[in-house]
Amino acid sequence: MVYGGFALVLTRGAWHAPQSSLACSNADCIQAAWLLQWVAFAVAHLRDPLVTTYLSPPGHPIGLMWNDAAPLLGLLLTPITLAFGGLLSYNLGITAALALSAWSAFLVLGEVTRHRPAAFAGGVVFGFSPWAVGEAMGGHLFLVSAFLLPPLFLALVRVVTGAGGRRQPVLLGLLAAAQFLISAELLADWLLLGTLVAGGLAIAGRGRIPGRVAGSLRRLGLAAAVFLVVVAVPLVVAALGPGHALHGRLENPSRDAGNLLGLILPRVQQLLAPPGAPYVTAAWDSFWGGNIYLGLPLLVVVGWAGWRLRSDPWVRGAAALSAAAIVLAMGPMLRVGGHATTIPLPWAVLVHLPVYGLMVPARITPFAFLGAAVCLAALVDRLWPTAADPRLTRPAALAAACLLPLVPAAPITTWVFATPSYFTSAALRAIPADSLAAVAPPGPVNLDAMLWQIEAGLRFRLPWGYAIQQGSGGVRAAFAPAGPLETALMVAARGQRRALTIPAPAIRKQLAAWGARAVVVGPMPHRQLAVALVARALGTPPRRVGGVAVWILGATRRLASRGQRARAQALPRR
């Protein structure tokens, strides 16, 4: 309940109008809401939830396993999405993800501590870390939903040590499969760090090492078999489906990483930031995920606990986990403030490996907070009052010193939207269901078209959208290659009248090739210029209804063949 209250305070702005606003400050949240809507739509209409043709030209399906679709979250939220829409579903998801991450850490820490307040403090560190709040601001639902990471590590320890009985390998495999269906990237990070933890546990302690290692490998093999059986289909889609052959990367592993000073200098998001510190950190070239701020007190606790309580395998392992994650989160080269050094770090090797070469280093940060949470909980637990020493001052002061620097300065920003009434009215039925509609503005201008598509319950397909898909020359890109219509609309959105010089026959030919049944121009910069260019291309004025300008196009005879882009006859005018 307390964690849920914390999460509601952080996202309270969006709950004033949860169906027309999003708790975020980055366009990625629109994509996250769209993906929730797509999974619900696919379930309701018996479609493939892992592949979509609703954000790209005909003949260019998009593999959603390469777009952080989090299909398990979409499935769990499907009843909410179908009843209230993707925006409310996203707000519920991001709020629940923060609270559940803290709660799961609290439950796991309850296994290694004697006092609930100690576990509670550790849960706050993990669930409401600056990294988690920063990713929530960035709209990354698939990353904020880290509630399976604590039980994953607990299950891993039990499997490697042989504790918990024969069911533990099965449980580990199921938890890993669930994490894969939420965030394959976090699972890959867990596999990397989990290998280090498992190796350390397998050779630690007394007794015959080969026998312990062999037993651990047998149990891990069973867990791997369960994992592969559960995720066989999505794994094949990710490995062989749309998007697997795209080359190039969108992220920069050197930029999208933390830095040494970032561990102790807070960003503007923190309440207790020293004067001038936010201005220094704001100038650093880093992505949202670059926020690896733990604060000096928590760093001291990790080091202190790792040394003073080194006889406790949980604390020793947690300190090592936190240290390893911090080093990896800094990327391939050490950065100190806004300056990149030439000192190589371990990620310089990982960047050349399959899978890890496409990942963002800073997204391994939650594991640093998980290790820190264990260390803090263990120390608070050891300092808890006893009959001989009933003072509560020491554990309370320690918890306060570590938690107060992590308190955010303000709630998560709320992004409020005003959707034209056309997309929620009966007038939308003029667009045949499952047909393609070219809705302006197109993706590179902003994501309004995707937002309106959500509001319309995915009644129509878009020829463009914010998703990792094939760009020019097979390079992975956030948007599909621009054709004459998209190019003209983007030029018009900048107020440049040369948009009217783009040949009208080329635009009509593109619409015919798509088999488009509608063109819609909604609110956008320099809207009248966009309306004029579409009217000129189609040779007819639009119908203005519900805050948009719309052209309903006649059906074209599709000349489609398997594996080829659909083509059509000349587009009839109306």
Distance CA 328, CA 387 (A): 43
Helix (H, G, I), strand (E, B) or coil at 51: strand
CB burial of residue 428 (10 Å; 0-12, 13-18, 19+): buried
Angle at 226 between CA 224 and CA 229, to 5 degrees: 105
pLDDT reported for residue 479: 80
Distance CA 434, CA 457 (A): 11
Look at 35-49, 152-166, 258-272, 558-572 and tell me which has the smallest mean pLDDT.
558-572
**What type of residue sits at position 359?**
M
pLDDT reported for residue 387: 67
Task: Indicate the helix (H) or strand (E) that contains 160.
Answer: helix 149-161
- Name the residue ranges covered by the structural domains of the chain: 2-242+252-406, 421-552
Given pLDDT bands bounded at 50, 70 and 90, which one contains residue 12? very high
What is the pTM assigned to this prediction? Answer: 0.91
Top pLDDT among 456 and 201 is at 456
CA 2 to chain centre: 25
Distance CA 45, CA 125 (A): 41
Residue with tokens 């907070």: 369
Please, which residues bridge with residue 29 across strands? none
pLDDT reported for residue 445: 60
pLDDT reported for residue 300: 95
pLDDT reported for residue 190: 95
Does residue 203 have a pLDDT over 70? no
Contact present, 533 and 489 (Cβ < 8 Å) = yes
Distance CA 128, CA 35 (A): 24
DSSP string, 408-459: BSSPPPEEE----GGGGSGGGGGSPTT-BEEEESPTTT-SHHHHHHHHTTS-
Give the model confidence (pLDDT) of 218-227 as tens digits. 899 999 999 9
Top pLDDT among 249 and 322 is at 322
Contact present, 261 and 336 (Cβ < 8 Å) = yes
Residue 488 neighbours by CB under 8 Å, 6+ apart: 499, 502, 507, 533, 537
pLDDT reported for residue 285: 52
Average pLDDT across the chain, whole number: 88
Residue with tokens 């000096």: 296
Percent of the chain predicted with pLDDT > 70:
91
Mean pLDDT computed over 532-561:
82
The one-character DSSP state at 231 is T
Given pLDDT bands bounded at 50, 70 and 90, which one contains residue 77? very high
Does residue 124 have a pLDDT over 80? yes
Percent of the chain predicted with pLDDT > 90:
63
Distance CA 523, CA 71 (A): 31
Residue 191 neighbours by CB under 8 Å, 6+ apart: none
pLDDT reported for residue 288: 44
Does residue 460 have a pLDDT over 50? yes
Mean pLDDT computed over 17-35:
93
Residue 368 φ/ψ region, left for φ over 0, alpha for ψ in the -120 to 50 degree band, beta for the rest: alpha
Mean pLDDT computed over 113-140:
94
Q: Name the pairing type of β-strands 437-440 and 518-521.
A: parallel
Does residue 122 have a pLDDT over 60? yes
Give the model confidence (pLDDT) of 463-473 as tens digits. 999 998 887 77
Given pLDDT bands bounded at 50, 70 and 90, which one contains residue 560? very low
Contact present, 74 and 47 (Cβ < 8 Å) = no
Given pLDDT bands bounded at 50, 70 and 90, which one contains residue 209? low
Q: 438 — phi, psi (to 5°)?
A: -85, 100
pLDDT reported for residue 289: 44
Does residue 75 have a pLDDT over 90? yes
Look at 40-49, 158-167, 188-197 and tell me which has the smallest mean pLDDT.
158-167
Q: Alpha helix locations (H) across 181-312? A: 184-203, 209-230, 232-240, 277-282, 296-308
Distance CA 148, CA 383 (A): 29
Does residue 112 have a pLDDT over 70? yes
Top pLDDT among 390 and 104 is at 104
DSSP string, 454-473: HHTTS-SBBS--SS-EE-GG
Report the candidate in 373, 405, 367 with the shortest Cα–Cα distance to residue 302.
Answer: 373
Does residue 215 have a pLDDT over 60? yes
pLDDT reported for residue 202: 59
Given pLDDT bands bounded at 50, 70 and 90, which one contains residue 574? very low
Mean pLDDT computed over 68-74:
94
Give the model confidence (pLDDT) of 345-403 as tens digits. 999 999 888 888 888 999 999 999 999 999 999 999 999 887 667 778 889 999 999 99
Neighbours of 256 (CB within 10 A): 20
